Structure 1
Amino acid sequence: MKTFCTAVILMALGLIVYNQQLHGQTVHFKTANGIKAVVNGINVELEIYNPGIIRVIKYPKGSGFQKRSLAVVKNPDTKVPRRIRITDSSILLETSRLKVILNKKTGKISFCKLDNDLLLSEMDNGAVFKPVKDGGVATFDVKQSFLLEKNEVIYGLGQQQNGHLNQRDQKNLLVQGNTKVAIPFFQSISGYGIYWDNYGPTLFTDDKEETSFDSKVGNGMDYYFMQGDNGDSIVAQMRFLTGKVPMLPLWVYGYSQSKERYKTQFELMDVVKKYRALHVPLDGIIQDWQYWGKDSNWNAMRFDHTTYPRPKAMIDSVHQLNAHIFVVAWPGFGPKTRQYSEFKKRGMLLNFDTWPPKSGAKVYDVYDPTARDIYWRYLNKGVFSLGVDAWWLDSSEPDHLNERNSDFDQKTYLGVYRKVRNAFPLEHIKGVYDHQRATTSAKRVVILTRSAFAGQQRFASNTWSGDVTSSWESFRKQIPAGLNFSMTGLPYWNTDIGGFFANSYIKGGGAKNPEFQELYTRWLQFGTFMPMMRSHGTAIPREIYQFGSKGDTIYDVLEKFIKLRYSLLPYIYSTAWQVTNNNQSFMRALAIDFKQDKNVYDIGDEYMFGSSFLVAPVTKKDAKTQQVYLPADASWYDFWTGVLVKGGKYINRATPIGIMPLYVKAGTIMPWGPDVQYATEKKWDNLEIRIYPGADADFTLYEDENDNYDYEKGLYTTINFHWNDNQHTLIIGNKSGHFPGMLNTRKFRVVLMKHKGGSSVKLTKNVDKVINYNGEKIQVNLSF
C-alpha cells in the first residue's frame, strides 16, 4: 500500500533567507546549500547535491559539526533550483525530483516524490544523541530511526555472510572483518538509497518497530538520501557522490591462478609453464605471503634471496610467457623490517596485535598521508619497480588479534581509531592507487583486496569474500553476499574458487577427492561469471592439472569453463566500459533488471551477469536438477540447448556436472571472442556476433589499448549494434573514436541463434552472414 506525504503547495521559489521565531525556537534558512533549522534542541541541515540527492546533518544545539568525508567526493550544488515554504508545522524543500518535509515539532524528515508518493520517512523524534567518551574525547552515540513499508525489500550493507538477499529483519553490527565487509548503505526496491556516512562500528537494525543506524561514535549524524528509479540509477547516484570506477586492463578479466602459497620463484614459474604446455588459458599468477622470509620479517616488501634469488628474472619470465603477476602486501609489518623501524620512530604504528600471531607485527597508520607515502616508497622500490603488474592487498580490514576495547582508544592521524576503523581499507587502498597513478600511467592499477568501504570503487579495487570455508553452505552464501556488495556501488567482487579452507577434504585425496572435485567444479562454474575469475585456497592446490588430465571428466569441465570465460572477453570488457562510463554493474540481482516482477525480489541464488546472461550456480551436492526462475516480460534461451522458454515461471533444469544453468535473454547481441591462451593473444578482427532474437537488442562493443590510461584522454572506440526484431535487420553503426593500433577493417561473422540450436563455447563453423566492416554504418537482413 502506498503512503502519501501531506499535500502542500510550495509557493516560494529561488534564493530566500528566513529568520522566524517559531514555538520558542529560532529557525534559520540558508539557501546556498539548502536549509538549516533548529528543532527540539537539534541542529538540522539539509544540503542539495543534485535534484535527487539530499544530505541530512544533525547535531545537538551548542555543539559543532565539521567533517571532510572520506567516502564522498562531491560538494553541495548551490545552482540546483529549489522551492522553500514554511507552514505552522513544516518546512518544505522541493527540487525537480524530490519533496523533503521537515516536521518542526518532532524533527521528522520525510522524502517524497513530486506526486506526494512517500519514499521514506524518519520516525518522529527518531534522532537520538547519547553522550559518550571515545578515547577520553567527548562525543556521541548517534542513532537515527526510519519507518519502512511492511513489505519493502532492501539490499546492500556490504558483504554479509547471512545467506540473505533481502536485508530486512536483520540486526547486524557493521564492522570490518575477514569474510565481512561493512558498508552502511542500503537501497530499496521502492526507489531510493541511504548512505550513512560514519566510519565507526554501526549497528543496523530492522524489525517491526524501526529501521535504524546506530553508530557508537560521532560528533553528529550524517546521511545521504538518494532517489533512483531502479537499482542502476541508485548505484549511479552513489557513484556520483563517491566516485566513478576506472577501467581495469583487459588481461585481468581472464583467468588467474593462485594458492596458499607458492614458496619459490621456480614453483611459481612452473605453474605458468604448465598452463602454457597444456594450452589452458591463463593471464594471472599470484604470489602470496612469505616471499620475504620469516614472520619477524613480515611484509618486508622485498624478495628473500634464498627462495627468490632473481625476482626480476622471474617477473620478466612471466611476462615473456604472456602472463601477469600479482604480489601480496599487508598493512602490518614484522618487528625486524625497515618499515617497522621507520614507522615506529615516526609514531605511525597502531599498537594492537595483527597477523601473524605472536610475531610482534603492527599495522601502520593508513589515515596519515605521510605514512601512505612511506608505505609506497618501500613497495615501489622493493616490488613495483621490478615490473609487478597487480597487487594483492591482504588483511585490509585489518586483522585484529586478541582484540581489546582499549585498542580502539589510541589516536590515529584522523583521531581516535574507533571513530575511523571501518574506513581502514578505503584509506589503505587509496594510498596504493594514488601513488601508482602518480608513478606511471602506462600500467592500470589492479588491486585485489579483502575488505572495502564506500567509495573504494574509485581506486581500482576488486574485493574478494575472504577466507571462506570449502563447503556447500558457504558456497551458497557467496551469491547473495556478492549481489548485496555490488548494490552498494562497488562493482568488482570475487571469491576464492573452491573456498579457502579445504582441510576437511585432504584425507579423501585432496584434489582427487570426488567430493571436493564436485564442489570445486561447481564453484569454478560460478567463478566464470564473476567480475574476476580466480582460483585460490589453502591445503589443496587448485591448478587444473591437480584434478586430472585431458580426457578426465573433471579436468575437461574445468577447461571448458575457463575457455568459456575467454570467449566472453569482448562481452565482459564492453560491460566493464558500461560500468565505468554508465555506472552499471557486473553482478546484478534480478530485481535490478526485472523490477516489475515481484517474484524476483528475494531470489538470491540467481543473477544477471551484465545485461544478457542469467546465471544459476549449482550450490547443492549431487544435484541432478535445479529449479530456476526465469523472470517475466522476457523470453530466455537455454545457452546449452538453444531452447527458447517464456519467462515468468520456474523450470527444472537438468544439471550434469558439465552444465550450470545458463540462460540468454531474448533480444541479445553477444560478441564471441576467439580461441586464445591469454586475453590479448589475438585481435578482435574476426569476431563472431551472436544474435538471440525475440526482441529488439542493442550492444556497444568497446575497445582500447587494453592497458594504460589513454582512454581517459578519449583514446578508445565504440561500435553500436542494433537488432530490429520485427524487420530481422542488424544495423552496425559508424565506429566512434580512435586509438593507436585500432582495427580499421575487420570481419563480423553473424550468427542468428534461433535456428542454430545450442550454443557452443567454440566458434560457430557455419555462420549466417560475414560482414566486411570498415568503420562505416552498415545494415543487413537476416532471414529466419
Structure 2
Amino acid sequence: MGILSVQGNKIYFQKRDEIAVLEAWGKDTLRFRSTPNSSLTEENWNLLIQEETKCTVKQEDNTAVIVNGILSAKIYNNGKVTYFKHGKEILTERSEMAFLDRFREYSSLGADNHRMTVVFQPKEGEHFYGLGQEQNDCFDLKGSSSRLIHKNTKSSIPFVYSSYGYGFLWNNPAIGRCELTNNHSLWEADSTKQIDYLVVAGDTPGEVMAKYADLTGHAPAFPSWGSGFWQCKLRYEDQEELLSVAREYKRRGIPLSAIIIDYFHWTEQGEYKMDPKYWPSPKEMCDELENMGVKAIVSIWPTINPNSENFSYMDERNMLIRTDKGQYGIFPFYGQQTYIDPSNPETAKFVWSKVYENYYKNGIKSFWLDEAEPEILPVQFENLRFHKGNGAEVGLIYPYYYNKLFYDGLKEAGEEQVISLTRAAWIGSQKVGALVWSGDIPSTFDALRMSVKTGLNMAMCGIPWWNSDIGGFWGGDIESDYFRELIVRWFQFGIFCPVTRLHGSRKRTSNQAERNPGILERSGGDNEIWSFGEKVYPILKNLIELRERLRPYIHKYMDIASKTGASIMRPMFFEYPEDEFCYTLGDQYMFGEEILFAPIVNQGQTERKVYLPKGTWIDINEKKEYEGGTFVTMEADIEHFIAFVKKDNHILSVF
C-alpha cells in the first residue's frame, strides 16, 4: 500500500517506484500526474495555467477525495483513482496485473524516460469522439484503437469527448497509442518522464468544449475573407496562369476569396522565395489580386537539403531536425531532405525573417503549411532529435510550433487576421490560427464518406477551423462521369464546412498542353469549376453563390467558436445530448444551431434517410414542414442537396 497526504489543494500519493499528484486545474477539471522518477516535472506543454478554483480536499483512513465543482475524484492508498460527476462514477482506473495493485505501468528506457501506460475500466453504452483526424470511417471511436502519431491524412490530438459527459486530455506529445476498446480504455506514451492527463466535466458537450478551449487556447478571430470560396489545384506553374484563372472567375462573376500558389514555386526546398523565372513580379501579382478582392496564399514546406542557400547556416546552429543515428536525410523527395525545427526559437526567427523579406513584403500574408506532421520516411521518430528532445518523446508537437512560427511572425508584423492552412495539428493548434485539412486523400466516394466523420471528430477535439480537398486529392479524372458526380456531392459537403476550398491533383487530359516543358513538378489536370463539363458548371456556380449568401451566418458562428470553442460543424449530439439516436449519426450534422445538413456520399445515390430531432423542421428544397423525433426519407438529384432549417428561422431565406 502507498502513502496518501494532502498539501493545500492537492493530493499526493507515494509508494515504491511511484509518486503522483491529483489537483484542480480550472473549473470542473482535475489533473493527474505520476512518475517512477524521483520527482514530477512542471512541464505543461500547451496546457494553459488556470486560475485557482475553489475546491475541497478531504483525507480519510485509506482514501483521499478532491471535489472541484461538479467533478470529484477519489484516490485509494493502493493508487487507484476514480472520477465522479455529480457524485456518479464516470471513469475509473484499473490494474492490468492479475495479483498486484499496479494501476500505472512503467517500463524503463534508460535515464528518466519510460514507456508509460494507464488503463481505465470500460463503461456500458459509452461513446467516444475526437482524437484528431484519421481516414478510418469511424465516427464513434468506441471499439477502436489508434496510434498516436502524425502522418499524411492523420493528425493525433489526444483528446476525446465521452457520452458520459466528460472530456479526457492526454497531455503528452510522445508517440504512443490509444485503445478505446470494449475491454478497456488505454493510453500509452512510448517514451516519457511522466503520465499526465486531465478530466474535464460538463453538463453538455458545449460546456466541456468551452472548458477544453480554456485549457488549451481559443481560436483567434476568423478572417473576414476566409468564409468565401478558395480556389486551388496542383499546381499553377507560373504567375500568368494563376492570374488568368483569377481573371476568369472575375469575368464570369463568380465570387472568389482566395487563390493558392502550391509547392515548387520556389528556387529550392529550404529557400523561402519565389522562382523569378516563373514568378517575375509577385508584388504586382498580389496588387492585381487584391484589386479583384482575392487573397494570394502561398504553400511553404519545412523541407530543406544541402542545395539550399540556408542549409549550412541552419545546420551549424542546430536549427534543423537531426538524427541520432545516420545522416540528415529523413524524407526522400527530389533528394534527401530534412526539416527545419520550429521548436527552436532561433529557427522561428530566422525562417520568419526570410518569409517576411520574400513573401510578406510582396503582399503575401497568408500561408499554406504543407508537410506539417512532418512526414518521415521511414517512420522512426525515435531516431529524430528536436530542440525539445527526442522524437519519440516530443514528436507530436511539430505542427503546433510550425503554425506558431507563422502566427507569431504575422502578429509581430501587425496582422490582425491570421489563418494558416495546415496538414497536421496538435493540442493548442487552434490558438495559432490553424486551419487544418485532411491531407492527401483519394478522389473517391469512400473518402468523401469518411471525410464527414473526420470533420466531426476534429470539431470534438477543439479544432473549429477544418476543411478537406473538395473532390479529394489524387486520382480524379475530370472527364469521367464518376468524378463529375463526385465533385458535385463533395462541393455540396464543402459548402457546409468551416472553409470551402477546391483542390486536387487531377489526371492530365490527353489534349492538355505542356505549359512549361521540363519544369520540375508540372501541373495536374485543370481544376476550376468550369473544368468538369457543361452540366456540372452551373451547379457549382450556384453552390458558390449560396456560400456567399451564407457568409454572415458563418461569421456569426466563427465568432462563437472563438469565444466558446464550439465549431460551426457540430455532431448531432452536440445540440441534442439527451437524444440517444444522435450519438450514432456520423453521416449528418448541424451547421450551427439552425441548419441540419445530410450529405449524399455514395455514387448514384439520390435519396437517403435523415434523422430529425424533436422540433419542427423545414426542408430547404420543397419548404415542407416535418415534425422531429423520427427518421424521414428525402430525395435529392445531382442538382440538389438535403438540408433542413428550424422553423421560424430567417436563414431559410438564404436558400
Tell me the CA shift for residue 606 of structure 1.
0.5
Tell me the CA shift for residue 760 of structure 1.
6.1
Whole-angstrom CA distance in 1 between matches of 2:650 and 2:128: 31
Structure 2 residue corresponding to 1:533, chosen from 500, 520, 536: 500
Structure 1 residue corresponding to 2:528, chosen from 543, 553, 558: 543
Whole-angstrom CA distance in 2 between matches of 1:126 and 1:640: 59
SS at match of 1:664: strand
Tell me the CA shift for residue 34 of structure 1.
2.0
Whole-angstrom CA distance in 2 between matches of 1:541 and 1:356: 28
Whole-angstrom CA distance in 1 between matches of 2:82 and 2:645: 41
Whole-angstrom CA distance in 2 between matches of 1:422 and 1:126: 28
- Assess, with a 3 A threshold, how the Cα gap between structure 1 residues 402 and 582 changes in structure 2: closer, same or farther: closer
Structure 1 residue corresponding to 2:35, chosen from 59, 70, 74: 59
The one-letter code matched in structure 2 to 1:571 is Y
Deviations 1:733-773 (A, max 9, x none): xxxxxxxxxxxxxxxxxxxxxxxxxx564xxxxxxxxxxxx
Deviations 1:295-336 (A, max 9, x none): xx1141111111111111111111111111110111112322
Q: Establish whether residue 84 from structure 1 lines up as the match of residue 57 from structure 2.
A: yes
Deviations 1:566-586 (A, max 9, x none): 000110011111111233211
Deviations 1:179-204 (A, max 9, x none): 01101111111110000011111211
TM-score (norm 2): 0.93
Whole-angstrom CA distance in 2 between matches of 1:396 and 1:153: 30
Q: Establish whether residue 278 from structure 1 lines up as the match of residue 252 from structure 2.
A: yes
SS at match of 1:338: coil
Whole-angstrom CA distance in 1 between matches of 2:223 and 2:630: 39
SS at match of 1:546: coil
Q: Percent identity?
A: 28
Q: Establish whether residue 102 from structure 1 lines up as the match of residue 79 from structure 2.
A: no
Q: Establish whether residue 417 from structure 1 lines up as the match of residue 391 from structure 2.
A: yes
Deviations 1:63-84 (A, max 9, x none): 2221422221224x44x22222
Runs of 4+ in 1 over 4 A off after TM superposition: none
Please show how residues 311-330 of structure 1 align to structure 2 within 5 Å: 311-330=282-301
Counterpart for residue 388 of structure 1: 364
Tell me the CA shift for residue 168 of structure 1.
0.6
Counterpart for residue 621 of structure 2: 640
The one-letter code matched in structure 2 to 1:566 is E
Whole-angstrom CA distance in 2 between matches of 1:36 and 1:226: 20
Whole-angstrom CA distance in 2 between matches of 1:354 and 1:448: 24
The structure with the largest alpha-carbon Rg is 1
Structure 2 residue corresponding to 1:199, chosen from 168, 173, 196: 173
Q: Which runs of 5+ in 1 are unaligned?
A: 1-22, 506-510, 671-689, 691-758, 762-784
Whole-angstrom CA distance in 1 between matches of 2:219 and 2:627: 35
Please show how residues 185-224 of structure 1 align to structure 2 within 5 Å: 185-224=159-198
SS at match of 1:91: strand
Tell me the CA shift for residue 356 of structure 1.
5.4
The 8 Å contact of residues 4 and 11 in structure 2, kept in 1 or not, is answered as: no
Whole-angstrom CA distance in 1 between matches of 2:203 and 2:102: 27
Counterpart for residue 243 of structure 2: 269
Counterpart for residue 348 of structure 1: 319
Structure 1 residue corresponding to 2:630, chosen from 642, 646, 649: 649
Q: Establish whether residue 618 from structure 1 lines up as the match of residue 600 from structure 2.
A: yes
Tell me the CA shift for residue 138 of structure 1.
4.2
Q: Establish whether residue 564 from structure 1 lines up as the match of residue 538 from structure 2.
A: no
The 8 Å contact of residues 133 and 455 in structure 2, kept in 1 or not, is answered as: yes
Deviations 1:686-734 (A, max 9, x none): xxxx5xxxxxxxxxxxxxxxxxxxxxxxxxxxxxxxxxxxxxxxxxxxx
Equivalent residues, number? 627
The one-letter code matched in structure 1 to 2:535 is T
SS at match of 1:477: helix
Tell me the CA shift for residue 339 of structure 1.
2.4
Q: Establish whether residue 36 from structure 1 lines up as the match of residue 12 from structure 2.
A: yes
Q: Establish whether residue 371 from structure 1 lines up as the match of residue 347 from structure 2.
A: yes
Tell me the CA shift for residue 604 of structure 1.
0.5
Q: Establish whether residue 520 from structure 1 lines up as the match of residue 487 from structure 2.
A: yes
Q: Establish whether residue 468 from structure 1 lines up as the match of residue 441 from structure 2.
A: yes
Tell me the CA shift for residue 287 of structure 1.
0.3
Deviations 1:133-192 (A, max 9, x none): 2xx654111111111312111111100211111001112111000001101111111110
The 8 Å contact of residues 126 and 146 in structure 1, kept in 2 or not, is answered as: no
Counterpart for residue 83 of structure 2: 111
The 8 Å contact of residues 178 and 185 in structure 2, kept in 1 or not, is answered as: yes
The 8 Å contact of residues 396 and 424 in structure 1, kept in 2 or not, is answered as: yes
Tell me the CA shift for residue 109 of structure 1.
1.1
SS at match of 2:208: helix
- Assess, with a 3 A threshold, how the Cα gap between structure 1 residues 410 and 555 changes in structure 2: closer, same or farther: closer
The one-letter code matched in structure 2 to 1:480 is K
The 8 Å contact of residues 106 and 114 in structure 2, kept in 1 or not, is answered as: yes
Q: Establish whether residue 73 from structure 1 lines up as the match of residue 48 from structure 2.
A: yes
Whole-angstrom CA distance in 2 between matches of 1:355 and 1:279: 43
Structure 2 residue corresponding to 1:303, chosen from 262, 265, 274: 274
| Greater relative CO, 1 or 2 (CA 8 Å, sep 6+) | 2
Q: Establish whether residue 445 from structure 1 lines up as the match of residue 418 from structure 2.
A: yes
- Assess, with a 3 A threshold, how the Cα gap between structure 1 residues 378 and 356 changes in structure 2: closer, same or farther: farther
Counterpart for residue 640 of structure 2: 659
Whole-angstrom CA distance in 2 between matches of 1:204 and 1:307: 47
SS at match of 2:496: coil
The one-letter code matched in structure 2 to 1:526 is F
Q: Establish whether residue 245 from structure 1 lines up as the match of residue 219 from structure 2.
A: yes
Counterpart for residue 497 of structure 1: 470
The 8 Å contact of residues 209 and 564 in structure 2, kept in 1 or not, is answered as: no
The 8 Å contact of residues 156 and 488 in structure 1, kept in 2 or not, is answered as: yes
- Assess, with a 3 A threshold, how the Cα gap between structure 1 residues 247 and 760 changes in structure 2: closer, same or farther: closer
Counterpart for residue 627 of structure 1: 609
Alpha-carbon RMSD = 1.7
Whole-angstrom CA distance in 2 between matches of 1:435 and 1:569: 28
Whole-angstrom CA distance in 2 between matches of 1:37 and 1:760: 59
Q: Establish whether residue 554 from structure 1 lines up as the match of residue 536 from structure 2.
A: yes
Counterpart for residue 362 of structure 1: 338
Counterpart for residue 703 of structure 1: none
Counterpart for residue 515 of structure 2: none
Structure 2 residue corresponding to 1:172, chosen from 112, 135, 146: 146
Whole-angstrom CA distance in 1 between matches of 2:3 and 2:315: 51
The one-letter code matched in structure 2 to 1:112 is F
* Structure 1, 251-260 or 148-157: larger mean CA deviation: 148-157
Whole-angstrom CA distance in 2 between matches of 1:489 and 1:394: 21
The 8 Å contact of residues 83 and 95 in structure 1, kept in 2 or not, is answered as: yes
SS at match of 2:578: coil
Deviations 1:525-573 (A, max 9, x none): 000011110000002322012123xxx3311110111100000011001
Whole-angstrom CA distance in 2 between matches of 1:459 and 1:198: 19
Whole-angstrom CA distance in 2 between matches of 1:598 and 1:350: 47
SS at match of 1:183: coil
Counterpart for residue 200 of structure 2: 226
Counterpart for residue 121 of structure 1: 92
Please show how residues 602-613 of structure 1 align to structure 2 within 5 Å: 602-613=584-595
SS at match of 1:187: strand
Whole-angstrom CA distance in 2 between matches of 1:309 and 1:666: 54
* Structure 1, 529-538 or 579-588: larger mean CA deviation: 579-588
Tell me the CA shift for residue 87 of structure 1.
2.0
Q: Establish whether residue 288 from structure 1 lines up as the match of residue 262 from structure 2.
A: yes
Tell me the CA shift for residue 434 of structure 1.
1.1
SS at match of 1:547: coil
Whole-angstrom CA distance in 2 between matches of 1:557 and 1:356: 41
Q: Which runs of 5+ in 2 are unaligned?
A: 96-100, 323-327, 507-524
The 8 Å contact of residues 610 and 631 in structure 2, kept in 1 or not, is answered as: yes
Tell me the CA shift for residue 41 of structure 1.
4.2
Tell me the CA shift for residue 611 of structure 1.
1.1
The 8 Å contact of residues 389 and 446 in structure 1, kept in 2 or not, is answered as: no
TM-score (norm 1): 0.78
Counterpart for residue 304 of structure 2: 333
The 8 Å contact of residues 35 and 45 in structure 1, kept in 2 or not, is answered as: yes
